[in-house]
Amino acid sequence: MATYSPLIRRLMLSSLSIVMSRALISPLLTLFLSNKLGLNPQDVGLLLGIAVFSATLLSLYGGYIIDRLDKRQLLILTMLSSGIGWILLTFAQNLYLVTLILIISETASALFLIGSKAILSENLSIGQRVKAFSLTYTLTNIGYAIGPMIGVVIAGIQPTAPFIVAGLGACASIFLLTGVKREASPVASVSQPQSFLKTLIILKNDRTMILFTLGCLLSTVVHGRFTLYLSQYLLVTQTQQGTLDTMAALLACNALTVILLQYQIGRFLKREHLRWWIVGGTALFVVGLIGFSLANGLIGWCVAMFIFTLGEMIIYPAEFLFVDTLAPEELRGSYYGAQNLAAVGGAISPVICGFLLMHSPPPTMFYALSALAALGGYLCFVSGRRVARKIS
């Protein structure tokens, strides 16, 4: 990380800080909302689904705003919004107010991710971008590996304390990006988009981007919220204690694999062979899913998770590199915002998997997910061929 400029180093540290803050409350949010508002699990799921879906749609316009304004200042605003939102959750009693706070917090988190990608693309050479993104993703997983444990410990002292600590941590993170000089970028002289409508028209006419985003959406059904459908499956096929033990092992395996190997794998990704990397990542998803369907012991589950995680480590930086290659210099934020619509796949994943678990033998869920992953990978491969022609 010492090889990067002060802005990039501070951006990576702020990403870790924000993720740590978010991870503090991630295992507690469902229970907190249930106790706070008296909602049953289904209603809590609906509430969180509305917040995530709304934030995903709003991030499309947010990407356009990121292209027009100072990205560093916008990231500071998103950190402040997230921090204040998490603190306000502890005081809000009204369902509509809680929903609004969740939408604002989720939107701020989405815009922070989009803005971070745009800053990496704007301030790094082509060869450095995917390596920097892989390092940032590694730091993100470190945060998610440590944060929940700290949150649970703090909650044992005071149930609302993790939200206060998370909010204060997010607000304090703004000092990592204040005082650092804005670096000259190659896009400074490029004309900005004149209107949001014209930007939407450009995105609508980019068939390669539409095809890729659709492929990412199908792929995100598989990897976006995999912990949810795995826990759904385990609750059907194992005891509650067995589910907890297996999920703990799988989450540890996933986090350790990413932390140890993500940056090393990301170093080898090349724009010229991007579509083949996507094919490889998709194949690993399919093998991992079939491994889940056949696993009958903890070792089998962990081996399947290791293979599945290898696919995840390829797909995440490959998606970043794809959009980075395709997007015009003046529309990077808008393109990242459009690609973020693929997050809808993670929102519908538990719904699809719950339906399959109720109306078919449990392993059928993994075979259906394998088919979706294969179709998503195929669409990304087709769009990748177009990008290969563009850079050749």
3-state SS class at 5: coil
CA contacts within 13 A on the Cβ side of 336:
29
Whether 378 shows a pLDDT value over 80: the answer reads yes
Which residue, 270, 17, 5, 202, is CA-closest to 119? 5
Determine the Cα–Cα distance for residues 65 and 55; give it in Å rounded to an integer.
15
CB 132 within 8 A of CB 120: yes
pLDDT band at 143 (very low <50, low <70, confident <90, very high): confident
> Considering the entire predicted model, what is its pTM?
0.79
What tokens appear for 139 in the block? Answer: 């730091």
| Domain 192-392 class, CATH top level | mainly alpha
Out of 16-30, 58-72, 191-205, pick the least confident.
191-205
DSSP 280-332: HHHHHHHHHHHHHHH--SHHHHHHHHHHHHHHHHHHHHHHHHHHHHHS-GGGH
Neighbours of 377 (CB within 10 A): 26
Per-residue HEC secondary structure of 182-216 comes to CCCCCCCCCCCCCCHHHHHHHHHHCHHHHHHHHHH
* Single-letter code of the amino acid located at 330: E
pLDDT digits (tens, 9 = 90+) for 316-358: 888 888 888 888 888 888 888 888 888 888 878 878 888 888 8
Question: For helices 6-25 and 161-172, what crossing angle results, to 10°?
Answer: 170
Domain boundaries, the chain: 1-181, 192-392
pLDDT digits (tens, 9 = 90+) for 199-241: 888 888 888 899 999 999 999 999 887 887 888 888 888 887 8
pLDDT band at 88 (very low <50, low <70, confident <90, very high): very high
* Single-letter code of the amino acid located at 159: P
Within this chain, domains 1-181 and 192-392 share the same CATH topology = yes
Residues in the chain: 392
CB 135 within 8 A of CB 12: yes
CB 343 within 8 A of CB 224: yes
Where does the chain have alpha helices with state H? 6-25, 29-37, 41-68, 71-89, 95-123, 126-157, 161-172, 174-177, 196-205, 207-223, 226-237, 240-266, 274-294, 298-326, 332-339, 344-359, 364-391
| Domain 1-181 class, CATH top level | mainly alpha
